[in-house]
Amino acid sequence: MRQHCLCYQKLFMLGEIDKAVMIYRTDAPWMTITNPASTKIAEISGEPNMEELLLRKADVAFFAYDIRKTEKKLAVIGIPGVVSQAGGVGFRTKTIEDFTHTIKRQIMVYGEVLGGQSLARAGKWCRYFDERVRFVTGRTRRLPETSKIRMFYMRGPTSQETHGKGAYVYWYGKMAGAKMIGENEPYFSKGTVSMERLVLWDPEVVSTGLVFNDTRWENISAVRTGRVYPSPSGVFYWDGGLEGVLFMQFIAKKLYPRLFKDLDLHAQVRFFYRQFYNYPLSEEQAEKMLSGLGPDGERQSLYNN
């Protein structure tokens, strides 16, 4: 079984990681400690060599990129391919309902292909996802539009680059009650926002996936009030994949601490890891993760700026 970058954690959650013969590694900070065996799986970058897939006796390939080209190549060697991420990273969903349906469908595809206990575990994750979405949106949907907090997700490699309208973070932010910076811009899944626009929009909260050191931001409200929060990373980066449901809760708590005073993020993270990764995350480890740190207590990010 060969997989693209969002596949690893899904197979891990489904208890099927031992079937993977090739993986696209991301080296998210908590990936190895939760499943040391992952380091023994052959690593690939980009499209794999088709002959190597045959040599490793792959039965199926989960993939998301260069769909038409990859499908044709797989057909030639007789290995079925499964498109595992509908529409690419920034799929064109138009509503929260569309987004949540698409996310759950991505998980269920794995369960249906693998069958048996995997299908049951996929359904279990979807039920948790639904329950937490109801919990968060049941409160944020009552927020007046004029009182919603302006939020910017700083992904990198520069302090102006973001995942835009239609991407995972956009929808998780919307469900968490954020007024996402750039939401009225033309559709883009990822892009750079000019500093002039950022000054004009003046985000009140910034979630950052990079090491942030840019003096041009010093007069932005989020920086002046100390509301810049490192985005957590776990088995995968929280801006995509299974742990996005945790990211939604993280954002909601940071934006509206009073509204979500009963939301125990540590308990949710520990429950998630025990329930879906079969890993007994300690309170100390949960604190590190929620602070954007790795197991060693150091900050690891996608980019350094």
Average pLDDT on 186-214 reads 81
Residues 2, 53 contacting (CB under 8 angstroms): yes
Task: Please say whether the structural domain 129-304 has been given the CATH code 3.40.50.300.
Answer: no
Contacts of the segment 259-264: beta carbons below 8 A, 24+ positions apart: 259/139, 259/140, 259/177, 260/136, 260/139, 263/135
Mean pLDDT, the chain, as a whole number?
86
pLDDT score of 204 more than 60: yes
Q: Per the structure block, which two tokens stand in for 45? A: 């970058």
Res 161: pLDDT: 82
pLDDT at 1: 39
- Per DSSP, the residues of 13-56 read HTT-GGG-SEEE----TTHHHH-GGGGGSEEE-SSPPHHHHHHT
Q: What is the pTM of this model?
A: 0.90
Backbone angles phi, psi at 179, to 5 degrees: -95, 100
Tokens 């991301």 belong to residue: 26
What is the structure's pLDDT at 5?
60
Least confident segment among 102-111, 120-129, 132-141 = 102-111
With tokens 């994949």, the residue in question is: 241
pLDDT of residue 65: 67
Mean pLDDT, residues 36-59 taken together: 77
Interval 238-292: pLDDT, tens? 988 899 999 999 999 999 999 999 999 999 999 999 999 999 999 999 999 999 9
pLDDT at position 255:
98
| Length of the chain measured in residues | 305
* pLDDT the model gives residue 304: 44
Lowest-pLDDT range, 13-17, 83-87, 129-133, 156-160?
Answer: 83-87
Q: Name which residue leads in pLDDT, 67 or 151.
A: 151
- For residue 305, what pLDDT is reported? 42
pLDDT bin (cut points 50, 70, 90) of residue 7 is: confident
Dihedral sign, Cα of residue 110, residue 111, residue 112, residue 115:
positive
Q: 220 CB contacts (<8 Å, ≥6 apart)?
A: 198, 199, 202, 203, 206
Q: What pLDDT, on the 0 to 100 scale, is given for residue 174? A: 95
Answer yes or no: is pLDDT of 187 > 60.
no
Every domain of the chain and the residues it spans: 129-304
In the numeric block, the tokens 């950022």 are attached to: 198
**What pLDDT score does 2 carry?**
39
Residue 92 has pLDDT above 70, yes or no: no
Q: Mean pLDDT over residues 113-141, rounded?
A: 96
Tokens 């206990």 — which residue?
117
List the one residue out of 111, 11, 29 whose CA is nearest residue 281. 29
295 vs 46, more confident: 295
Report whether the peptide linkage leading into residue 48 is cis, meaning its omega lies within 30 degrees of zero.
Answer: no
pLDDT value at 69 more than 90: no
Mean pLDDT of 99-118: 91
Percent of the chain at pLDDT > 90 equals 49
Instruction: Report the b/e string of 55-71 with b at 16+ CB within 10 A.
Output: eeebebbbbbeeeeebe
DSSP state of 229: E
User: Which parts of the chain fold into alpha helices (H)?
Assistant: 7-13, 31-34, 50-55, 67-77, 96-114, 117-140, 168-175, 195-201, 221-224, 244-255, 265-276, 283-290
CA distance 165 to 183: 6
53 against 247, higher pLDDT: 247
Higher-confidence position of 29 and 174: 174
